[in-house]
Every structure is written in C-alpha cells, then in structure tokens.
Structure 1
C-alpha cells in the first residue's frame, strides 16, 4: 500500500462529504459544474477535491477563480494536478480521493451538473447503507442523446441493479451518479489506472459486486449527465467491456449453475458461447430461439474447437427450453415480442435468467 493509499483512510473526517472531481480541459462546462457545487442545499461539512489532469485550456484559471466563492459557501476547495501528459481519468480520480479527507465520497465529472438536492439526498441514503454504491436518476444533455440507455438505467427496479449488471450498457448505477462511504472505496482500493480505452468504472463496479458490495439508487433526477464527443466513455473498447461482462458473469453467476440454456442461437448467443471458459461451455445444454430456420437446423457446431468430434449444441424453441437462461438479447428492440415470450414462461429474474447482451 502506498503512502497516498494509507492517507486516504488515516485522515478521513467523520461527517465530511468530499466531492471528487477529475478534470482535463473542462473549460466549456466547468463554470456550470462548479456553480452546482455551490448551490447544494446540504448544510453540513463539504470539500471539493479537484485533480487537474494536465489541462491546456483555461481550466486552472476557472478553478482558482472559484476559490473565494466556495469559501463563502463554506466549502473547502483542494486543487491538485500536474502538467505534461494526462494520467487518465482513473488515476486522476485516485489522486483527488487521496488528497481528500471526507468520510463520504461524491463523484462528479467536470462536464456534469448536480441538482441542488443531490448531496443531501444521496448522503441520507449512504448513511443508512454503508456498504452500498448509491446512485440516482439522471437526465441527459442533449435531451435526445442515448434515449435507450437513459430509460433503461432510470427505470431499473432495485433488484435489477444486480440482475442486469452484465449487459453492454455498463454499470447499472451510472458512474457520474456514484456516492459512497470511503470504506466502500477503500475495500476495492482504487480505480484502474491503465488510461484511455479502459472502463475503470466498470472494473471497479464488478469488483465491488464480487466483494459483496451493495447497490442502491435514489429515485430522483439529481444529475445532468452530459453527452458530447470528447467524453472519455467514447474511448472505451467494446471488446474490453464484453470480456469484463462475461468474465464477471462466469465468476458471480455461472459458478453456481450446473447447466443452462443460451437464449439466442444467432450471432450474439454464439459469441457468448465462444467467449465462455471450457468448463462453462460444457454446462450449456442448448440454445433456444424463435427463428424457424435456426430451430430446423437443430444444432450449433462449434467449428473453432480443437476437440474431435466438434462440440454440438442443440437448438430448440424457447418454449421447449430448460431454465436457467442466459439471455443474449437486447431489450425493447422486437416490438414487445421477446418480452411477451419471456413473460409467458413465468420465470424469476436473477434466479431463472440473467441478461448478457
């Protein structure tokens, strides 16, 4: 453990909320973001810990210009950073956390905006759920950006925060809305610092679940989550996300199953099968589908296998398939037909099926 890691827990102060903000060239949005910090209705102790990650625009000047305004609002402002080559958002978050001293951590990206009630409401939830990452509902700007993701994330039921954690959307509690106790962070240790292309939030999220961490969402829109071409999420490789998804599903779900069916004999279902470890491939008793041509074919032959003979997996109609299922289908894309078919089986999500798509 490094000196910075030890300091993160050794100088924490009971009751203080540390707002954690990494920033790299945040000039276009930073003023609006900082104004949302000043406007918080929470009247307890707050500090804003910023790590300026080698910004080359007016970010440093904007930050310095807000110091007196923060102080008048009773908010301590800690500004750290460096020049040269950016270290990336994971490392910048870690350094902002290392410099902070609060018992609770409120994550804020420099291009987003907090509702004035955010800290007050999420702190109340985190105090009563000390082992949880606490999120909230959010709106996007522009309004019409990522409508399927926004709708999915905002309408998940509490249990679905766990059962739908293995989909391509990413964490079921969106990273820009995270709020937690410092103990939750310290249990995992830090964000991955590999830099551009690495989904450090997803890696942390899955490690949190694996360690027995809890999830909770405040059902109020407390964040404006901005969408723009320069957002770090656009640099993340889809294949990396997929590998993390499947590996986590294997570790946390499939390890407890003796057999299962893959729902979707098409491209996505076959991709899932090929990605599985050998011991989990052997647990697949069938693919299921509604496509008559796939069902008539009767079998999927794993041609890439080095085994002889090649593994052959039956393909059956979904109504003849045996649960539990791993469903490799995206939701809300079939005009309700898939959801109707799934509902006809009277299954329980998280027991009889999980999504991985």
Structure 2
C-alpha cells in the first residue's frame, strides 16, 4: 500500500491557468465530489484499519469523511478524531459529530445524520468495521456517472475467510439481471449495504433510512423503497471491500420473523399482484409457510405445490388446517414436471448440488418471467 497516497483535488481550473475566483471557491466550500458516510457505534477496535483504508483511496476528486457517533461508550470518537489531521493533510474534509444519550438511536438514525451533515454530490456508505480497497471510491464513482439512477455495489472479500460462504458466493456471483430478480430471497438486498454508493440526488429521491432503531432492517426497507421509486441496481465486478463478519454486527439484531414478513409483502406487491395463478415449488416447510403467509387473495391464486419428494407427491394434497374456511382448502401436490408455471421457488439456492438449477433449466424457464426465487 502506498504510504503517501495522492492528495485530493481541491481547486477548479477553468483552463486559463487560474482558479475560478471567489465565487467558485465558495461553491467548493459547499460541495465536494464524494462524501464517505460512516455511522459509528462502539467500533474503536475496527476504526484504525477502516480509516487507514479511507486515507489510501486513489480517487483524485474532492472527498469528505462524515462520521456520526451514535452514543458510543468506548473511545470510538477519540480514535476518529485522531485521524482528522492525517485526513485533512491529504485533502479530505472531515465532519465528526454525534450524541451522548444513554442509548443509541440506531443505524438508520446515525446514517441519516451523517448524510445530512455531509456535502458530497455522491455518497459512499462505509461501515466502521469494514475495509475499503484503494480503488473503491474511484471505480464506484465512475460507475455512478454512467448509471446515475442506480444504486452501485461491488464484489466483496469476506473476513474471516470462509465465513458465510454461501452468502458471499451469492453476493459475488449474481448476474446483472439477477440483481433485480433475486431481491425476494432471505439473503436480503442483492447489492449489499456495506458496498452502497449513489448520488445524493438518488438518495433524496428514495428518502431517509427508517429510524426505528434496534431490530429494524433499515437497509432492506430503503432497498425496497429504492426499487419502488424505479431506481436501478449495478455492481462493479471487482472486489472493492473487505466485509467483516462478527457476532456484534447489527444485522444479528433483526429477527427472521421481521425479515420474512417484509419479504412476503414485497413479493405480493411486486410479483403476485401481476399473476392470475401460480405454483409454489416446494411442498415442504418453506413452501407451506409461504402459502400460510399470503393474503387470502393470493392464497386462492395458488394452483398447486410441486416437488420431487415422492412421499409428498403420493399424499396428493396439502390441507390448510389453520383456515377458517369450510371445507378447509386442499392444495394439490404434484411432480414438478407436471406443474404449470409461473413458479415461486421456495428451495434454497446452492443447497441441492445443482439439482434445482438443472430441473429449472430442463423446463426451459426464464428467471424473472417464469419464476422468482423466494428462499
């Protein structure tokens, strides 16, 4: 790593060898190219490596670090302040604030505060426990200029290596089309939050993060709202972030039940509302749970369950015992080759040794039209 990273560009040259005068200097005081948005809560053990990586970005435009400390009880604020001089020497603007209330207000609140105090035309979201590679801001900035109405992500390196192996493989292997089609899976946003980069204009178009605090998946809620607003998704296909996994990560505070309801509601809103009939692929626990979670209108659209399990198929049907209807609904269970689409796939990806993918291919089904993954 270069011990002397390049200084940021701070002046506007009008081509005549001079700056733009007082008016342009005032404009530059009001805005920078990229603000790195960093919420902080009890992150002192991670911050030195995180901020060292910020310092070594090879982007030559103007940059700002905007930190909001969400009532940390360790020395996070002191650690960040200790980097101010080094960052400013390299041309960064640095804004650090926070609060010292008895309890933190949550990640959504801290992100919103960090954004509101920043001046960047583009926003690079950085978790305090992750490490950006030197080219991250430059490459995502370039991508954002080309895809101005899109949320920009990147591939990641997971640390410790081998942790959340399936999830990491999913993040890095999605195709551009799958960034849009696989937004309903249990993995969450297809462009993962620690890699987010977007214009301020796009951020304001979507709206602020939910500030409900602990247990609220503010990233998923923002992601869904972004899609509702008609924004796009794009991933830089290079690894630009070391994405740390540890037990204190805020994602562990969100319950599966909360995520499940949000996913079901979004699937019903975006997909099932457009279908007259459909088949649930999986007559097992996940498929039945999805059926029970649907609203009555969409339950009536379920043509059948399909499966490969002979025992489930031989039984012939699934009875919805919790239903208040009389007689209770009985949903047929058939072999997948005898089923009619479109399908909602309730089988986990990358867990069948390629059998699921092979079965879908043999039926010549197109993802995003003939089926969606919900697993």
Query: TM class, shorter-chain normalised?
Result: over 0.9
Whether contact under 8 Å (2:44, 2:76) holds in the other structure is yes
Residue number among 317, 322, 328 corresponding to 1:310 in the alignment: 328
Shift of 1:45: 0.8
Cα separation, 2, equivalents of 1:336 and 1:351: 21
**What secondary structure sits across from 2:98 in the alignment?**
strand
Greater CA radius of gyration, 1 or 2? Answer: 2
Whether contact under 8 Å (1:301, 1:311) holds in the other structure is yes
Residue number among 173, 178, 192 corresponding to 2:210 in the alignment: 192
Q: Runs of 4 or more off by more than 6 Å in structure 1?
A: none
Give unmatched runs, 5+ long, in structure 1: 1-10
Deviations 1:67-109 (A, max 9, x none): 1101111000100101121111110000000101111110000
Equivalent residues in 2 for 1:198-347, closer than 5 Å: 198-347=216-365
In structure 1, the residue matched to 2:128 is 110
Give unmatched runs, 5+ long, in structure 2: 1-27
Deviations 1:111-158 (A, max 9, x none): 000000000000011111111110000011101110100001100000
In structure 1, the residue matched to 2:79 is 62
- Give TM-score, length-normalised by structure 1: 0.95
Shift of 1:58: 1.4
Deviations 1:280-318 (A, max 9, x none): 111110100011111111111111111111111111100
Equivalent residues in 2 for 1:21-32, closer than 5 Å: 21-32=38-49
Structure 1 residues 12, 244: closer, same or farther in 2, change over 3 A? farther
How many residues are matched?
347
Shift of 1:15: 5.6
Are residues 1:127 and 2:145 paired? yes
Are residues 1:43 and 2:60 paired? yes
Cα separation, 2, equivalents of 1:131 and 1:303: 46
- Give TM-score, length-normalised by structure 2: 0.91
Cα separation, 2, equivalents of 1:335 and 1:180: 36
Cα separation, 2, equivalents of 1:180 and 1:240: 27
Cα separation, 1, equivalents of 2:36 and 2:366: 38
**What secondary structure sits across from 1:315 in the alignment?**
strand
Shift of 1:14: 5.9
